[in-house]
Structure 1
Amino acid sequence: MPPAKSLLLICAFALTVTVSAGAADPRLIASLGKLDPQTRLEQVCDLAAVNHIGTNGKLPRPDRAKSNVITPPRHHGDTIEGSGGAFRSGGKWYAFSFKCRTSPDHLNVLSFTYRIGAMIPKSKWPEYGLWD
């Protein structure tokens, strides 16, 4: 596996683990700092999705979110918007649209809004790169 992809997977795992911890680990910040700014923006906003979507009380707290599943998000400086994200909650994947604005270093989320879409049928998971 290429080193950049390995680092990305480690960051995605670390982001998921730190959700319950509530505070960013300095090692996580250092790892995120090694990513290119656009990837860092997406990773930080994916974490925001996990944190925010779980608070609406309609679904179990998500354990994973990806901003670029169905369609790629649009990057505008420190903001990313998308209508093709997906999150996993209770073993099922759901579509979501969102807008996420971060600090200039793309390490802190300043605002995050979202709208939950339909459940994604399991038959579509391979097409979108989703998993159990």
Structure 2
Amino acid sequence: MGLIGREHRGFQPDELVAYAYGDPRSSGAVVDASGAAVRSGNAWYHLAYSCQTSADGLNIERFKYSLGGAIPKGEWAKHYLVAP
């Protein structure tokens, strides 16, 4: 979340739900979450990301993401998104 906050001015992510719109997939040291959501301030946003860790799982070696649009408040409960 720190990277997302640094790359998007005014964005202060404080919560992430990897399974909001679909289950994350993992294969070895790679996790893909195309249906994630991230909260900043009083809003939730669509997020897709891929993360690869070191073999021991202690370090992030690669992280790519795509930040999407705001999620309507009426959809929050259905997708496990809690109010701030």
Q: TM-score, normalised by structure 1?
A: 0.59
Match of 2:63 in 1: 112
2:47 to 70, 90, 96: 96
Secondary structure at 1:95's aligned position in 2?
A: strand
Match of 2:21 in 1: 70
Structure 1, unmatched stretches of 5+, are 1-49
2:3 to 52, 56, 67: 52
Shift of 1:59: 4.0
Ranges of 4+ aligned residues in structure 1 off by more than 6 Å: none
Q: Indicate the RMSD between aligned Cα atoms, in angstroms.
A: 1.2
- As a proportion of its length, which structure holds more strand? 2
Aligned pairs, number: 83
Using CA pairs under 8 Å that are at least 6 residues apart, name the structure with larger relative contact order, 1 or 2.
2
Structure 2, unmatched stretches of 5+, are none
Match of 1:82 in 2: 33
Matched, 1:124 2:75: yes
| Residues 37, 45 of structure 2: 8 Å contact kept | yes
| Structure label with greater radius of gyration | 1
